[in-house]
Amino acid sequence: MSQLLHLYKPLINPRNLSVFLIWLFHLSAVIGISLGFEHWFISKTPVTLTLIFVLLVWSFPEKDLKLVLGIVVFFFGGMFVEWIGVHYGFPFGVYSYGDNLGPKVSGVPWFIGINWAVLTLICGIIASHLVGRKWLRILAGAGLMVFLDFFLEFSAPIFDFWAFENEAVPIENYLAWFGISVLFHFIYQSLKIKGDTKISYHLYAAQLVFFVYFYGFYSL
């Protein structure tokens, strides 16, 4: 037994534990929702977002002022544009939030601010790993966010996250996502925040798998 533990000891570390928890939560939700326990799993979305945020921040090698500043800017920036969107129908189109993203501040769930921060950080880290030039990193990071949002938008009204007027997602939603994401990624790249590439790839992949699966699940 001791030899077996010694053999697997290198695999048991905080990073691998984080990866295990990321996939455990997402795949459990996929299975549970597919089996008909949609309400229970979707109502726990704030718990999943909290876990994702904690694991992501925990993974950063340097928890310095730049990281704190980035999180604050992306959180409050995301909340601000969502507040404008909910109250004025601009720049995303006319939409409103449901009940499964947790408590709201003037109609906007504060977990959506966390989601903006998390997506900006993980997509910024991935983009920095994939390309070299700053402007390419900015465009790549924004592109990754819009790509994920395309599949997320399909499930959002089904899961009571949010819904657009007339049930159709307007093209301005994606244009606004891209424009705001470009601004956020310009800030991210300017701050030169360094994060954990492995955790970021797994977080992005787990969310992409989740929403692509339900894009197909509810389309068939």
Structure letter (DSSP) for residue 166: G
pLDDT at 15: 83
pLDDT at 5: 43
Q: What percent of the chain has pLDDT over 70?
A: 94
pLDDT at 132: 87
Q: What is the Cα–Cα distance from 110 to 36, expressed in whole angstroms? A: 28
Nearest alpha carbon to residue 145 among 164, 171, 126: 126
**Cα atoms in the 13 Å half-sphere on the side-chain side of 150:** 10
pLDDT at 9: 53
pLDDT (tens digit per residue) in 104-159 = 999 999 999 999 999 999 999 999 999 989 999 999 999 999 999 999 999 999 99
Average pLDDT of every residue of the chain: 92
Q: What is the Cα–Cα distance from 49 to 36, expressed in whole angstroms? A: 22
pLDDT (tens, 9 = 90+) of the chain, 220 residues, equals: 455 445 445 666 778 889 999 999 999 999 999 999 999 999 999 999 999 999 999 888 877 899 999 999 999 999 999 999 999 999 999 999 999 999 999 999 999 999 999 999 999 999 999 998 999 999 999 999 999 999 999 999 999 999 999 888 999 999 999 999 999 999 999 999 988 999 999 999 999 999 999 998 887 6
pLDDT at 11: 62
User: Domain spans of the chain?
Assistant: 2-219
Cβ proximity of 50 and 101 under 8 Å: no
Two tokens, residue 210: 């989740």
How does DSSP assign 38-107, residue by residue?
Answer: HHHHHTTHHHHHHHHHHHHHHH-S---HHHHHHHHHHHHHHHHHHHHHHHH--SS-SEEE-STT--EETT
pLDDT at 7: 47
Partners of 47 in beta bridges? none
Q: What is the Cα–Cα distance from 98 to 40, expressed in whole angstroms? A: 15
pLDDT at 41: 94
